[in-house]
Structure 1
C-alpha cells in the first residue's frame, strides 16, 4: 500500500465543508466510544450504530455511509488497542480510550468520491457539498486504475488542506549487495555513529527554530481570546511547528534510505524512548533528535530492500570494550572509551556501535528482527 499526497486547491466554502465533514467524523467516533463505555458494544455494534446516528442526526446523514463506518472503526481501534495493552500486560498506562477533540481528517473508502480522467481533479459526491477540488502534486494518478485506490483521506493542516490516496501497489526494489554490515549508535552529540566510525551531525531542527517559535508564542499569548488576530497568530505558530516536523521527517527518511541502500545488515539499540524522555534534562533534545522516526523509516526501507534490521538490548554497549570485552565503567559525560585491559582508545559512540554489530552477528542476544536474512 502506497500513500500519494496532494495539496487541495478550492474556495473558502469548500474548505468550510471539509471542516464540517471532519467535525461529523469526530462526533460519530465519540458517540461510538460512549456506546462502548455504556454498553460494552462490539465492533459490529459500533458499525450498526452509524445508521442509527444517521437517522437521528440529519448532519450525520450528510456524510457518506462508508466514511461514517471509518469513524466507527477509529473508535474501535482505540478500544482494541486498550484491550491489547491489558492482555499483554503493558507496563504503565494502558491507553484507555478518550474522547477526541482535535480530529483533523475524514476518510472515504470506495464511494463518495469521483476522480476525473485527467487525474488532477476529484469530486466528492456525498451530502457535505465539498464539490470538485484541484489536486496539486507531481504524481500522476491518471495512470492508476480506480479499483487500486482503496482509501481517500482529506486532511487539514496548518498550511492548508491535503488529499491522500491509499493505492494498492507492490514495491519492488532490487537491492545491490555491498557486503557491508553495520551497527548504529544514536546519540545527542552526534545524531548517529556507525561501527566504521562515521558520524552524522545532529541537525537539531527544533533547537534552531526555538527562538522564532518563542517569539511567535509570545505574540499569540498577547492576543485577545476569540479574536481574529489570535486566530492568525495561532496559525503562525502551527505553521512554524509544522515546518520543524517536516524538516525532521525529511532528514530521517534520507538518512534511513541512504543507510539501507548501502548495507546488507543493520543493527541498532532497542531503545525504550518513552522511558528515556522522562529525564527532564534530556527530554527536549531526545524528542528533537527523532530517533524513533529514523528507526521506523530504517525498518520500512529495509523491508522493501529485503535486508535484516536487528534490535539489540542496549545493556553495557557503551561500557564494554569492543576489542577485548573488558567492562570499563564511565558516566554519560565521558565521551572517550579508554580500555584498562587492552589500552584501546575510541570514541564512546564508536565503541558502542561496534558492540552493537558484534551482538547482532552473534547467535544470541537479539530482541527483534524486522526483515528476512535473505534478499
Structure 2
C-alpha cells in the first residue's frame, strides 16, 4: 500500500465542513469504544453494526458517509486488538488499555463518499456534509494510478492547513545492483549512528535547536487573553513550529535510512525497546528528538522496497563485549572507549558495539524473520546470500 499526499485548497466554508466531518468521525470512534466497554465480548463486526444505530439516533452522524463511520469503528478496534495482543504477550508495564481520544485530526473514507476528477486535480466529497470540490496541490502525480487502485481517502487537518491522503493499492519495488557490503548500526545520542566501518552520522537535534523559539512562542500563548483571536493566532504559530520540527525529523530519518539501505545488502541494528528507555527522565527528550524508532521503521520499509536484508538483533552486551575476542569488558555509560585487557583492542565504544551488532546479525540471518523480496526458506536464504554478501 502506497500513501500519496496532497494539500487541499478550498473556501473557508469548506474547511469548516471538513472540521464537522472530523468531529463526527471522532464521535463515532468514541461511541464504538464505549459500546465495547459496555458489552464485553463484541467483535469488530458488532462495532460496524453499531454505526448504523448511531446514524439513526444522531443527525450529524448520519451525514457522515457509511464507510467513513465504519472506518472510525475500525480505528477503535485496532486499539482494542493491540491491547489484547499486549496482554497475550505479557508485555511488561502498561498494556495500553484503549482510551477516549480528546481531539480528532482526520476522517477516512473508503471507496464511497468521494470522487476524483479525470485529470486528478480535484477531489469532490459527496457525503451528507456536502463539502464539495477541493483543489489538490502537490508534487505527487496520481495519473500513474487507476482510480480503482485508490482504496481509501483520508482528510487530515494540520497546523498549516488541510491535506488529502490517498491509499493506493500498489506494491513498491525498485531493482538496484547488489553492493556486496554489510553493515551494523549502533544508534546513540552523541552521534545519530555509528556503523561497523567506523563512520558516524551526526545527530541533528532539531528539537534542541528550536527550543528557544518554541519557548518564546509558548510564552506568547500564555500571555494572551483566553478566548481572544490573538490567542488562537498564537496557538497556530506554536503548532506550526512543532510541525516544522516533526517534519525535519521525518525528512532526516527517511533520507538517512534510504542511503543506508541502498549502500548495503545486509543491515543489522539493535532491537531496542524505546518505550522502556524513555522512562529515563534525564534522557527522554534527547531520545525522542533522535527518533530511533522512526529511523528503524524506514530502514525496514526500504529493505522491502530494494530487496535488502534487515536484521534486528538483541542489544544485550553489544557495548560490553570486545568485538575482537568476545571478552566482557564492563564499562559505565560515561566511558566512551572500549579497552580490552585480554587482546589489547582499543576502539570507540559505539564502533565496537556496531561490530558486535553486525556479527550477531550475520549469525542470525538464517534464523530470524527478515525483510527481503518475497518469502524465502531459511536454508535457501543462506545459499542466496553467500554469493552476494561480503563478510
Residue 236 (1) aligns with residue 237 (2): yes
| Alignment partner, residue 276 of structure 1 | 277
> Conserved in 1, the CA contact under 8 Å of 2:108 and 2:154?
yes
| Alignment partner, residue 36 of structure 1 | 36
Aligned residue for 1:122, secondary structure, equals strand
Residues 154/96 of structure 1: CA separation in 2 closer, same or farther (3 Å cut):
same
| Whole-angstrom CA distance in 1 between matches of 2:292 and 2:39 | 41
| Alignment partner, residue 184 of structure 2 | 183
Residues 36/85 of structure 1: CA separation in 2 closer, same or farther (3 Å cut):
same
Aligned residue for 1:325, secondary structure, equals coil
| Alignment partner, residue 104 of structure 2 | 103
| Alignment partner, residue 18 of structure 2 | 18
| Alignment partner, residue 319 of structure 1 | 320
Aligned residue for 1:281, secondary structure, equals coil
| Alignment partner, residue 27 of structure 1 | 27
| Whole-angstrom CA distance in 2 between matches of 1:95 and 1:103 | 19
Residue 134 of structure 1: how far off its partner (Å): 0.2
Residue 100 of structure 1: how far off its partner (Å): 1.6
Residue 318 of structure 1: how far off its partner (Å): 1.0
| Alignment partner, residue 290 of structure 2 | 289
| Alignment partner, residue 388 of structure 2 | none
Number of positions where the alignment pairs a residue of Structure 1 with one of Structure 2: 375
Residue 56 of structure 1: how far off its partner (Å): 1.1
| Alignment partner, residue 5 of structure 1 | 5
Alignment of 1:214-233 (within 5 A): 214-233=215-234
Stretch moving more, 78-87 or 18-27: 78-87
| Whole-angstrom CA distance in 2 between matches of 1:72 and 1:212 | 39
Residue 80 (1) aligns with residue 96 (2): no
What TM-score do you get using the length of structure 1 for normalisation?
Answer: 0.97
| Alignment partner, residue 362 of structure 2 | 361
| Alignment partner, residue 161 of structure 2 | 160
Alignment of 1:304-315 (within 5 A): 304-315=305-316
> Conserved in 2, the CA contact under 8 Å of 1:181 and 1:264?
yes
Q: Deviations over 1:91-139 (max 9, x none)?
A: 1111111112111000001111110111110111111121100000112
| Alignment partner, residue 252 of structure 2 | 251
| Whole-angstrom CA distance in 1 between matches of 2:33 and 2:328 | 53
> Conserved in 1, the CA contact under 8 Å of 2:311 and 2:365?
no
| Whole-angstrom CA distance in 2 between matches of 1:286 and 1:114 | 42
Residue 44 of structure 1: how far off its partner (Å): 1.6
| Whole-angstrom CA distance in 2 between matches of 1:364 and 1:63 | 49
What TM-score do you get using the length of structure 2 for normalisation?
Answer: 0.93
| Alignment partner, residue 352 of structure 1 | 353
> Conserved in 2, the CA contact under 8 Å of 1:312 and 1:368?
no
Aligned residue for 1:91, secondary structure, equals coil
Aligned residue for 2:208, secondary structure, equals helix
Residue 83 of structure 1: how far off its partner (Å): 1.6
| Alignment partner, residue 64 of structure 2 | 63
Unaligned runs of 5+ in 2: 386-391
Stretch moving more, 249-258 or 89-98: 89-98
